[in-house]
Structure 1
């Protein structure tokens, strides 16, 4: 296999944002406001593991319309991946995973699976079975064609240290996300939200847009600034496709065919032409995603017309 060596340049990309904080900090509220600026008028879907708490935000000031995809226990990483792909196939522009912490510490999550597999035996062997599942979840987030915002609960982290007299003391290290160590490094931007005043501070920022800024309440303006930065990069060259695709591409193609049947051949052909799609198998993932969103809008419009008739 030949290696390509080229001049580095920042290219357009999809958002990968983390928002962490304790319960009641306003993570869901902030995620929805950020999404409003990130994709104005786009479809926002929340994977809700918090027993319907996201829907409590519907109708509040500045909160955009959004859909929910409820996810109940078991919170295995595999089920998260399935929910992510379902939201992608439904034409989500922004995907909010609220909360990602359940995939780690919830019922059926990674830690729970390790405990059940290991029992009183070898936990190292158990992790050998569970780690690939969690890696697949991280890959699904990073490879998604949607903008992705994840919320994570936090807990106080401690460490033992020895003082000058040889005595061991417990030292507070600060708040840490309830997730696999290092998960925050997978994100482009991570905001830590305090509980009392709901102020957010960027603890990691590859964009330099928010790094060093004073703590502030998250608003749609934060998402808009990030969107402008993302779109200012160089265009991403289209990838060559083989027509076979991976599992996500197959699911996308299957959903597109279903929606084509729903809207009829005339409308489907018109939309495909506008999106530059002539043959489905030969289209790039980006072209298919755009075509799928146009089809979804046509399906929704037809459904609304039938209800009003």
Structure 2
């Protein structure tokens, strides 16, 4: 089990009117802008399709050749590629797969300043030891053995993990195993032979909709884009892709084609500022909310435990308001 500690969450206060200042967000419209964004990519496929190697190459390219982070559930198989083509990364091996542990690992990676994180693989946090399915199985005892009711506990845990992935302040690439079926296909000699074919990803159904770019790989190392907000990848199929040249470069060109955005570190500095007031923190919360960064994984500056940027701003803002009374 990860030794990163338990996540810290701001509890509800005794004065609901103050809490509602944060919970009751106004609905406002503002001019749309095309901002620079970070990569959110998933690669799914059967065993041996090249998911890990491709993800590492893409991460190397996205991160400008600098050292990046990998959250490794595959018994450190990624380390076999360390140094190949100059790829350098730091690894956080995981042996149990509670989704809340992934949130903690992401908070540590954000604190360390890694510009890119690879999760290899996200499937373990669904069906591995202590994964979401295990959490539902454990929770059902509270509801008379009702598995459906167990999702009352499992769904929030799953959602918090996905929110932390999507709110990470750098690029994120997640690999996922595919459900495998064997089908007969004709080979180059005109004979039928059984071939492993990947079906949907081993994660919660519909998880692919959360990523901006989704690709699948087959046993021949062929990569096919299933979904892409990046126009360069629409309906593209790449044979044995070079992750740096074929994917990272055009991806970066598109990601960086927009208005410079505020560095999330600026929001963190503002949240911790000694001059912050209850009103300024509420305004900061609204700004962070509008940027979709409330769930950004964040290390609590006082406890040193994982939390989220939004929870910390809210916690401090309410504390300052209470101190004024």
For the criterion TM > 0.5, the same-fold answer is yes
Among candidates 215, 225, 245, match of residue 250 of structure 2? 225
| Separation of aligned partners in 2, 1:47 and 1:131 | 22
Among candidates 119, 125, 144, match of residue 168 of structure 2? 144
| Separation of aligned partners in 1, 2:149 and 2:62 | 42
Residue range with higher mean Cα deviation, 197-206 or 3-12: 3-12
2:125 counterpart residue number:
103
Residue range with higher mean Cα deviation, 141-150 or 241-250: 241-250
CA RMSD after TM alignment: 2.8
| Separation of aligned partners in 2, 1:247 and 1:12 | 19
Among candidates 34, 39, 42, match of residue 10 of structure 1? 34
4+ aligned runs moved over 3 Å, structure 1: 1-4, 237-250, 252-256
**Correspondence 1:275-294 to 2 at 5 A:** none
Task: Verify the 8 A CA contact 1:89 1:255 in the aligned structure 2.
Answer: no
Task: Verify the 8 A CA contact 1:89 1:252 in the aligned structure 2.
Answer: no
TM-superposition CA deviations, 1:258-281 (whole Å, max 9, x none) = xxxxxxxxxxxxxxxxxxxxxxx9
Pair 1:234-2:259 in alignment:
yes
Tell me the secondary structure at the aligned position of residue 19 of structure 1. strand
2:207 counterpart residue number:
183
| Separation of aligned partners in 2, 1:226 and 1:129 | 37
- What's the CA shift for 1:156? 4.1
Among candidates 93, 97, 100, match of residue 78 of structure 1? 100
Q: CA distance change for structure 1 residues 43 and 86 in 2, over 3 Å: closer, same or farther?
A: same
| Separation of aligned partners in 2, 1:134 and 1:127 | 10
Among candidates 232, 248, 256, match of residue 209 of structure 1? 232
Task: Verify the 8 A CA contact 2:66 2:88 in the aligned structure 1.
Answer: no
**Correspondence 1:30-179 to 2 at 5 A:** 30-60=54-84, 62=85, 64-73=87-96, 75-118=97-140, 121-156=145-180, 175-179=199-203
- What's the CA shift for 1:140? 0.4
TM-superposition CA deviations, 1:89-118 (whole Å, max 9, x none) = 122111000000000010110112222332
Task: Verify the 8 A CA contact 1:49 1:99 in the aligned structure 2.
Answer: yes
Tell me the secondary structure at the aligned position of residue 95 of structure 1. strand
Residue range with higher mean Cα deviation, 213-222 or 101-110: 213-222
1:169 counterpart residue number:
none
Q: CA distance change for structure 1 residues 14 and 254 in 2, over 3 Å: closer, same or farther?
A: farther
Task: Verify the 8 A CA contact 2:225 2:235 in the aligned structure 1.
Answer: yes
| Separation of aligned partners in 2, 1:198 and 1:32 | 15
Stretches of structure 1 that go unaligned for 5 or more consecutive residues are 158-172, 257-280, 282-309
Task: Verify the 8 A CA contact 2:180 2:199 in the aligned structure 1.
Answer: yes
Tell me the secondary structure at the aligned position of residue 12 of structure 1. coil
TM-score by length of 1: 0.70
Q: CA distance change for structure 1 residues 252 and 228 in 2, over 3 Å: closer, same or farther?
A: farther
Q: How many pairs are equivalent?
A: 240
- What's the CA shift for 1:63? 5.0
| Separation of aligned partners in 1, 2:210 and 2:174 | 11
